[in-house]
Amino acid sequence: MTWTNPLRDERDKRLPRIAGPCSLVIFGVTGDLSRKKLMPAIYDLANRGLLPPGFALTGFARRDWAAEDFGKIVYEAVKQHARTPFRQEVWDRLAEGFRFVPGSFDDDEAFDRLAQTVRELDAQRGTNGNHAFYLSIPPSAFPVVCKQLARSGLAASDGEHWRRVVIEKPFGHDLKSAIELNAIVNDVFPEDAVFRIDHYLGKETVQNILAMRFANQLFEPIWNSHYVDHVQITMAEDIGLGGRAGYYDGIGAARDVIQNHLLQLLAFTAMEEPTSFSAAELRTEKIKVLNATRLVGPLDETTARGQYLGGWQGGEWVPGLKEEEGFNPESKTETYAAITLEVDTRRWAGVPFFLRTGKRLGRRVTEVAVIFKRAPHLPFDATMTEELGQNALVVRVQPDEGITMRFGSKVPGSQMEVRDVTMDFGYGTSFTESSPEAYERLILDVLLGEPSLFPVNAEVERSWEILDPVIEHWAKQEQGPDPYPAGSWGPESANRMLARTGRAWRRP
C-alpha cells in the first residue's frame, strides 16, 4: 500500500508547473511579434525557472544567419523587452539551446535541414521528441508551412512524444476562409495539437473575470437581466496604423479585434459557471454563449464604423488614416467599429451588449463595463441626485489592470445629497508580484499541453458567423466609414447608435 501525504499533495497543486523536455521552433522569427513578445517571453519563463534545463529554441527565416547571429538577435530582444531582470547565468544556459535554420517556406531542403536539427536536439539537448511549431507568419503562408511540416515528418507524433502547432490570428478573414484554414491545419495536426493564440486570453485580468464571477457569491444574484441594463466592451488604442497600413487595409477594426478579442471577452462575461475549469468544460460554456449570441438589427442603426482624421493628440499633430504611408486613399477599411449584440439565454434575454474598438481614440484602454439598471424608486429630491448615474462594475483589462465599482453615496453635510463614488481594486497595489505577460502564460500552456485558453474550431467559426453579416452589410454601402478626429472617442454615428436606445457610451 502506497501512503500519500495530503498536505504535500495540496502544496504540489499550488506549485507552478514546469514544462517537460521540449523545444520550440519559430517561423517568422525576424518579425516584430517574435522580437517584442515571443523571445522576451521565453527568456522570462526561463528566468522564472519554468522551462526545462535542456529547452531549445530554433529560428527559421529567410536570412543567411549562423546560430551565433540568431543568438545576438535574441539577446537584443531580451535586453530591450524582457519583463524580468537580466541574469547572465540564465541567459548562458538558455543560449546553449539556440539553433537557426535559413530557408524559405517552399524550400524542401530547408525543411529537411530543420528536421535534422530537431533530431539533433533530441540527442544533444534531451528534448525527447517533443516539439512545438509557432507560425508567426501571415495566414496565407499557413498551408505551405503545414504541408512542409507533414512532408518532412516534423508533424508526425508517435503517441509517446508530442508535436504541436501554434497559430497567430487572424484565423481567416470570414467564415468560409476560416473553415478552409481549419481544414488545412487539421489535415496535418489533430485538433488537440492545434493552439490558436488570442493573446487577450492570456491576460491576468481576463482570467480574473472568471475568478470574480465564480469565486464570489456577491455578484451571482445580480448578474442577469433583472438587474443589468447593458454591457459595454471596449478596446481603444491611441495609436494609428503607422507602418502597418499596408497590412491593415482590407482587414479593418471589426475583423482585427471584434471577431476574436471582444467576442471572447463577451463569452467570459456572459457564460454560465462550468462544472470545473478543465479545458473541455470551459470551452463548452463559451461555445454555448457564442451559439446564443446574435446581432441586433437593423444594422444601419445598430452598428457604426469610422476612419480617423488628422488632429491634435497628446499635444502633437498626428496624420489621418489616408495620410498614413502605404494606405490607399480610396479605401473603405474602417479603423473604428461598433456593433450591438444580444445573448438569447434566460440569464441575458433583452440585455444589449455593445462592442466597440478603434484606433486614434482618446486613450489606450480595454475594459468590460457592466452597467446596472437604475433603482426603481429614489426617495430623494431630484435636485439632490442630479449627479447620480447608474451603478457599474468595470473590469479594466489594460493598462491599469483592476476592477472599479461605481455606486451612489451621500455627500457630507446637512442635506441628503447623493453623488457617484467609486471603489477600486488594482493589481499593482494589491499584489507584490507583477503579472506575467500574456505570451508567457500562453507559451508555457502550449509546452504543457494545457488548452484551456485557446479557441477551438467551433469558437472561431461561430465568431465569424456572428460578424460576417456586419462585414457584408458595410461592403454593400456606397458611403464609406464616417470620419472622426484623432483623440476623440469615435464617429457621431456610434453615439447615435446608443442614443437611439436612451443610453450613452461610458467615457473610460
What are the catalytic residues?
261
The answer to whether 52 and 83 are in contact (CB under 8 A) is no
Determine if residue 359 is labeled as part of a ligand binding site.
yes
CB 439 within 8 A of CB 38: yes
Cα(439)–Cα(200) distance, rounded to whole angstroms? 9
Q: Is 213 within any annotated ligand binding site?
A: no
Is 161 annotated to bind a ligand? Reply is no
Phi, psi of 38 (to 5 degrees): -70, -50
User: Do 290 and 263 form a contact (C-beta atoms < 8 A)?
Assistant: yes
Which of 126, 132, 122 lies closest to 60 in space, CA to CA? Answer: 132
- Residue 197 three-state SS: strand
- Helix ranges (H only) for 240-371 are 245-248, 252-253, 263-270, 279-292, 299-302
Q: How many whole angstroms separate alpha carbon 508 and alpha carbon 503?
A: 15
176 is in an annotated binding site: no
**Residue 172 grid coordinates:** 481567416
**Given phi > 0 = left and psi -120 to 50 = alpha, else beta, which region is 481?**
beta
HEC string of 150-207?
HHCCCCCCCCCCCEEEEEECCCCCCHHHHHHHHHHHHHHCCHHHEEEECHHHHCHHHH
The answer to whether 256 is a known ligand-binding residue is: yes
Is the CB of residue 181 less than 8 Å from the CB of residue 478? no
Inter-residue contact 137 to 145 (CB < 8 Å): yes
Q: What CA–CA distance (Å, rounded) separates 409 from 423?
A: 11
Residue 62 counted as an annotated binding residue: yes
203 annotated binding-site participant: yes
Report residue 504 as a C-alpha cell: 450613452
At 504, is the secondary structure helix, strand, or coil? coil
Element housing 148 (H / E): helix 142-151
Binding residue numbers for NADP(+): 62, 169
Binding residue numbers: 62, 169, 199, 203, 237, 256, 359
Binding residue numbers for substrate: 199, 203, 237, 256, 359
